[in-house]
A and B are shown apart, each in its own frame.
Chain A
């Protein structure tokens, strides 16, 4: 009987010939990503308390992205502590205000098919777009990983999700995930989701990363996309040569999946998730009749402000203006993306339409930085989750949509189907 991709990765990482779903294995960790939010400030005191150091200073990657740039004394202190940690422990890879961690792992060639990676953030699942295992863990467990280079895991079953057909205009990977949050629910703990099918094969790496990022919203262990030439090119673009066996990391044809879904991309409409959960979703056009007035439109986060996302925003805004009474804020996912969007005129299009550019970082996504909202306010956001209180006041309302949908709401001042603005 064949093996799924995640079984193969976990067998290699645990030094076994094969592993079966449900087995508990201890895996060697190839990359441990820790962040300013739950990284050094939580982990360092624990290392001191135990009198130990990090297992491999080349494999522990530190990113300062949640509290950047410092907007108050506490943030400044947390960032300083993060920088001091990097010096003290002689960490090789440190990204200080370069952008959001998950995007940086991809941009800088850190991920290869077949690797077993951990990150101190729930959307670490994003890395699975490279055909590796990458999942999120809390700071307490990342402490264990950073010390020992190992972690236990239950080998997950895999849900196969195939998409075929051509997307209509204005329909994106984000719409797939808001649709799947509703269809598959948010309770898929200890399961992996493998995305495949022709529509996925045609997607850019940045769009695939939306799928695996939001596998977290489905509650999954991680999301994966088997590698192909597009994956290899993305690894090269990050400055790393793909491993010789990179394309061999895929599920066998006779592997066993716990569920097998097939969807048609051509019938999918732009989706919107209403407060307060990503699964609370429906077609954007069905929201139009309610005339939901939007105070803020936010383009940001790891999932929703990559270069492809900013291009979507610009395609809606070109020749249009943000509605008076609505504010549009755009926080590109990384400095590199900011640079590229500046160079190709995208940022100019956004600012000419009345949008405000914010620094690259987590910002308002998790209520940590610039752009949080007040009691009673409504925001539509290209971020990945809209739980009560996530973006500021716990009496605010956050809707989720694709970058097209968020930009269209900025122009209309209310939630609309973005396809009317794509001519």
Chain B
């Protein structure tokens, strides 16, 4: 698994799923949806975020709805990793299922917008290249490591189905 590295985009506490994926764009394509990701909080984010950039946030990141578009938008924008003080349950599960590494990072306040940050989700190491600080954090939970290593739930299921390790319903005729 790669070690994401990029510019930090910082957000506060309780960034909710309705601002990550606004309901009024629900019926649109993921391209359109992702282009509005977080615009109510920071309209500069979606148009300017670069592949590999790191989202840094406060408490209860992703609070709210089950909408997978909230997590998918970050994958779509090619965000490298997410570091938040804590996560809302469904958002956390969604984002890992899409293979976007999300780590619990209590020291989010020590990263400033624009800092260059490197994240090793397997080792549980966050490096702020700009300030020179390095942090040891809890890595991705062990039971999810294989799935994330496979690139998310879909590639993981495919691997297991191809290997005959998974009992599934049969495709309809």
Contact = CB atoms under 8 A, between A and B. Distances in A.
Interface of A: 24, 37-38, 42, 46-57, 67, 72, 74-75, 78, 88-90, 120-122, 124, 136-141, 143-144, 146-148, 152, 186-187, 189-190, 219-221, 277, 366-368, 372, 385, 387-392, 394
A389 B22 contact: yes
Given A189-B86, A390-B18, A390-B23, A88 B60 contact: no
B157 interface: yes
A74 B94 CA distance: 25
Contacts of B90: 122, 136-138
A236 B137 CA distance: 51
B27 A136 contact: no
Given A51-B161, A140-B152, A366-B23, 9 more contacts: A38-B67, A49-B154, A50-B161, A54-B169, A78-B27, A190-B89, A372-B24, A385-B64, A387-B64
Nearest to B40: A394
B127 interface: no
A137 B18 contact: no
A368 B23 contact: yes
A272 B19 CA distance: 22
Interface in B75-97: 86-90, 92-94, 97
Given A24-B143, A138-B68, A219-B63, A394 B172 contact: no
B163 interface: no
B94 A141 contact: yes
Contacts of B86: 187, 189
A367 B93 contact: no
A186 B168 contact: no
9 contacts: A48-B171, A50-B157, A55-B167, A78-B27, A122-B66, A140-B154, A143-B153, A143-B154, A148-B167
Of the candidates A52, A53, A57, the one having the most CB atoms from chain B within 10 angstroms of its own CB is A52
Contact count band on B: 35 or more
Contacts of A136: 66, 90
Contacts of A75: 27
A67 B27 contact: yes
A156 B87 CA distance: 15
Contacts of A143: 153-154
A75 B27 CA distance: 7
Nearest to B166: A148
Nearest to B154: A46
B65 interface: yes
A140 B18 contact: no
B26 to A, nearest CB: 6
Interface of B: 14, 16-19, 22-24, 26-28, 39-40, 59-60, 63-68, 71-72, 86-90, 92-94, 97-98, 141, 143, 152-154, 157-158, 161, 166-172
Contacts of A46: 154
A141 B88 contact: no
Contacts of B94: 138, 140-141
A417 B28 CA distance: 40
B64 A53 contact: no
Given A141-B153, A144-B153, A148-B166, A189 B172 contact: no
Contacts of B169: 52-57, 146-147
Nearest to A119: B66
Contact of B18 (A51, A72, A74, A389): A389
B169 to A, nearest CB: 4
Contacts of B98: 140
B16 A387 contact: yes
B89 A120 contact: no
A47 B171 contact: yes
B168 A55 contact: yes
A55 B168 CA distance: 6
Given A140-B153, A368-B26, A392-B24, A50 B158 contact: yes
A51 B60 contact: no
Contacts of A189: 60, 86-89, 92
Nearest to A395: B40
A144 B28 CA distance: 24
A19 B97 CA distance: 24
B157 to A, nearest CB: 6
B103 to A, nearest CB: 15
Contacts of B71: 138, 140
Nearest to B59: A187
**Closest 7 pairs (CB-CB, A-B):** A367-B23, A74-B27, A53-B169, A138-B94, A138-B68, A394-B40, A387-B18
Contacts of B39: 394
A167 to B, nearest CB: 28
Contact of A389 (B40, B67, B93): B40
A52 B18 contact: no
A78 B26 CA distance: 11
Contacts of A72: 27
B129 to A, nearest CB: 30
Given A49-B154, A140-B94, A89 B67 contact: no
B16, B63, B158: residue with the most chain A Cβ atoms closer than 10 Å: B63
B27 A389 contact: no
A241 B129 CA distance: 63
Contacts of B166: 147-148
